[in-house]
Chain A
Amino acid sequence: MSATATHDARGNSEKARRPLAAWRRHHRQCLRGALARLIRRPLGAWATILVLGVVLSLPALVMTLGHQVERLGAIWMSDAARMDIYLATDVDEAARQTLRDWLDRQATVAEQRVIPPAEGLEALTERLHIDGLETLEANPLPWVIELTLSDARTDTRLALAEGLREQAAVAEFSSGDDWIQRLEQIRAFFDELGWWLLLLLGLTVVFVVGNTLRLELHERRREIALIALIGGTERYMLRPLLYDGTLSGLLGGVVASGLVGMALSVTSGPIERFAASYGAAISPEIDPALILLLMAAGALLGWLSAQAIGRFYIGRLSTP
């Protein structure tokens, strides 16, 4: 095969055209152009990016709230590996021992501690700062057995609870099940709300970016009409716009991450104190996956609005 370039009558060389290399070059030019426009018109471009950041930060905040609830829930769950059994008032020493023996045989019970009514009253007096409780004629508190369970799974607790209900000596027992279920529901609610907000506000992002790009297109309409005249394809004309939209969206995602981070650092005090009251130490931090999600969502939404606005206007400018 001959490697020589073919020339037509007008001297055009087929070899001179390198569509792929030219395509890569144009992508690089478009990226540079988008960055240059960002620097050249900082106020207009950054105003859009800031609006995007605020809009995207709302669903992110809701999702983060859900995430914090989940983490606090996990602390609650660790607390849930405990269970208090309140004995009936008429239970004698023998019956108590029978119950303790039964509890010893349960694989789910790791430890048990008996709290006599006197000790319970002392603890209560101390906790409530009430004087004079010791003068009560009869101690109204029951015997309590404090259990430490082998694990905090709901199944374990339910199995044990079933057994306890059959024990005559047991008047009542605490189970944190309701709270755990409620927490899970709250977390799921925040999560779902976050996704819905992201979807709804995503539409806002499309319109905000779209409007900025429309102005950009209007400014460049002469250039676009000219490129159409000299044989530029719609994709060629659309490409700079796609870079503008994607870059704005991406930076909007970064701003949103920053805003969520700021909101978390402001609320970190109360959350840390709450966790500390359960003997846990958590410091609220933005989830790295959320940062990635925000940047990806911003970039995708920016790209989508550039596609929509670009195809509409460029089509009108370049075809009769």
Chain B
Amino acid sequence: MIEFANVSRRYANGQFGLQDINFRLPTGRMAFLTGHSGAGKSTLLRLIPALDRPTSGKVLIGGYDLNKMGRHQYPKLRRQIGVVFQDHHLLTDRPVFDNVALPLQVSGYLPGDVRRRVDAALDKVGLLGRQRARIEELSGGEQQRVNIARALVNRPRILLADEPTGNLDPDLSRDIFDRFFEFHAVGVTVLIASHDVELLKQYPVPRIALNEGRISAFEEADS
């Protein structure tokens, strides 16, 4: 479960990135985070894996108040959260396999398990057979799919995505969203930030609309 209670994030220049955010996303549910660029979507997502701290208010993940969490507890929290970022955050000096395997190696999986899981994750995003390819050799869309495979490989409890289809064509975008939807179907809590309104309309998923750092609307799923 993800819960925000009166959360604000104010920057050093005095501007608010987020202001008085309140919402609850129960375990296993999926939601979209919508809004223009600069509305605060990325800022909100960064608070969940404790990459940033709120200036005031509380963020609770699975009932744990992140404000009360020490820095030595962050790794455990972050291993339960898969993140797909707007910019790919891929290590360009390593092949696809090594990039996807990283979360498993960090968590202490054995090489055999790592190989099996990496292959399964790459298969899910349609990149099986590209394990040895270098990141530079891939197209923008393929790189984003590597990013998604890396977020899924550890089978996280929570999946966060920030504009995951920004560089992909409509067919591939729908394909990626279908995968997120499948993941949600097996009990993963999914929160996806996207401004692609047309694409979002195709999924019966509630939408949290952000505008200038505030929640402007909470729309139940269209169906």
List chain A positions with a Cβ less than 8 A from chain B. 9-13, 16-19, 21-23, 25-26, 222-223, 225-234, 236, 315, 318-320
For B89-132 the 0/1 string (1 means CB < 8 A from A) is 10100000000001101111111010000000000000000000
Residues in B155-174 with C-beta less than 8 Å from chain A: 155-157
- Interchain Cβ contacts under 8 Å between A and B, 12 examples: A9-B187, A10-B156, A10-B157, A10-B186, A21-B108, A22-B109, A26-B105, A222-B89, A227-B102, A231-B80, A234-B71, A320-B51
Instruction: Tell me, in angstroms, the Cα distance from A48 to B29 when the chains sit together.
Output: 54
Instruction: Point out the residues of chain B lying under 8 angstroms from A18, CB to CB.
Output: 108-110
Do A236 and B106 touch across chains, with their CB atoms under 8 A apart? yes
Q: How far is the CA of A228 from the CA of B89 in the complex (A)?
A: 12
- Given known pairs A10-B187, A231-B78, the reply for A16 and B110 (CB within 8 Å) is yes
In the complex with contacts A226-B91, A227-B106, A230-B103, A319-B154 CB distance below 8 A: no
What DSSP secondary structure best describes chain A's contact surface?
Answer: helix
- Minimum distance in angstroms from A300 CB to a CB of chain B: 26
Chain B residues lying within 8 Å of A231, measured Cβ to Cβ, are 74-80, 103, 106-107, 154
**CB neighbours of B77 from chain A (8 A):** 231
Known: A10-B156, A225-B89. 5 other contacts (CB 8 A): A16-B109, A17-B110, A223-B91, A230-B83, A315-B71
Please determine whether B51 and A232 come into contact, CB atoms closer than 8 angstroms.
no
Interface residues in B59-78 by Cβ distance below 8 A to A read 71-72, 74-78
Shortest Cβ distance from B203 into chain A, in angstroms?
21
User: Among B83, B109, B113, which residue has its beta carbon within 8 angstroms of that of A229?
Assistant: B83
Distance in Å: Cβ of B73 to nearest Cβ of chain A: 10
* Nearest Cβ on chain B to A135's Cβ, whole angstroms: 93
Give every chain A residue within 8 A of B52 (Cβ-Cβ).
320
**Residues in B lying within 8 Å of A, measured CB to CB:** 49-53, 71-72, 74-80, 83, 89, 91, 102-103, 105-111, 113, 150, 154-157, 186-188
Chain A, residue nearest B92 (CB): A222
* Complex alpha-carbon distance, A13 and B116, angstroms: 13
Whether B108 and A17, one on each chain, are in contact in the complex, defined by CB atoms closer than 8 angstroms, is yes
Identify which of B106, B150, B155 gathers the most chain A CB atoms within 10 Å of its CB: B106
Which residue, A23, A223, A232, has most C-beta atoms of chain B within 10 A?
A: A232
B78 touches A230 (CB 8 A): yes
Chain B residues with Cβ under 8 A from A19's Cβ?
Answer: 108
Contacts of A232 in B (CB 8 A): 75, 106
Question: Chain B: which residue is nearest A230 at the CB level?
Answer: B103
- Roughly how many angstroms separate A17 CA and B74 CA in the complex, as a whole number? 19
Residue of A17, A25, A228 near B78 (CB, 8 A) is: A228
Distance to closest chain A CB from B180 (angstroms): 14
Contact A226 B53, beta carbon cutoff 8 Å: no
Q: Which residue of B is nearest A18, CB measured?
A: B110
Question: Which of A17, A226, A320 is close to B50, meaning CB atoms less than 8 Å apart?
Answer: A320
- Contact yes or no, B155 A230, CB < 8 A: no
Given contacts A231-B75, A231-B78, contact A226 B89 (CB under 8 A): yes
Q: Across the interface, do B155 and A10 meet the contact criterion of CB distance under 8 Å?
A: yes
For B109, list chain A residues within 8 Å (CB).
Answer: 16-18, 22
Q: Residue on B with the closest CB to A22? A: B108
Task: Known A318-B74, A319-B71; judge A230-B106 contact (CB<8 A).
Answer: yes
| Chain A residue nearest to B112 in the complex (CB) | A16
Q: Which residue of B lies closest to A23 (CB)?
A: B108
Q: CB-CB < 8 A to B111: which residues of A?
A: 25
Find B110's partner among A21, A236, A318 (CB 8 Å cutoff): A21
Closest to B102 in A: A230
- Minimal beta-carbon separation of A232 from chain B (angstroms): 4
With A16-B113, A222-B91, A319-B71 as given contacts, are A229 and B107 in contact (CB-CB < 8 Å)? no
Cα separation A223 to B94 with both chains bound (whole Å): 11
A residues less than 8 Å from B80 (CB atoms): 231
Supposing A10-B186, A23-B108, A315-B71 touch, asked if A230 and B154 sit within 8 A by C-beta, the answer is yes
Q: Tell me, in angstroms, the Cα distance from A21 to B102 when the chains sit together.
A: 16
Given A10-B155, A229-B49, A230-B154, are A319 and B108 neighbors across the interface (CB < 8 Å)?
no
CA distance A114 to B49 in the complex (A): 96
Contact B110–A226 (Cβ < 8 Å):
no
Chain B residues with CB under 8 A of A22: 105, 107-110
Known contacts A320-B51, A320-B53; is-contact A229 B78 (Cβ 8 Å): yes
B110 partner residues in chain A, CB cutoff 8 A = 16-18, 21-22
When C-beta atoms are compared, the residue in chain B nearest to A17 turns out to be B108
Q: Would you list the 4 A-B pairs with minimal beta carbon distance, nearest first?
A: A231-B79, A22-B108, A231-B78, A10-B155
Please, which residues of chain A bring their CB within 8 A of the CB of B154?
Answer: 230-231
Q: B187 to chain A: which residues have CB within 8 Å?
A: 9-10
Query: Can you name the residue of chain A whose Cβ is closest to the Cβ of B188?
Result: A10
In the complex, chain A residues whose CB is within 8 Å of the CB of B157 = 10
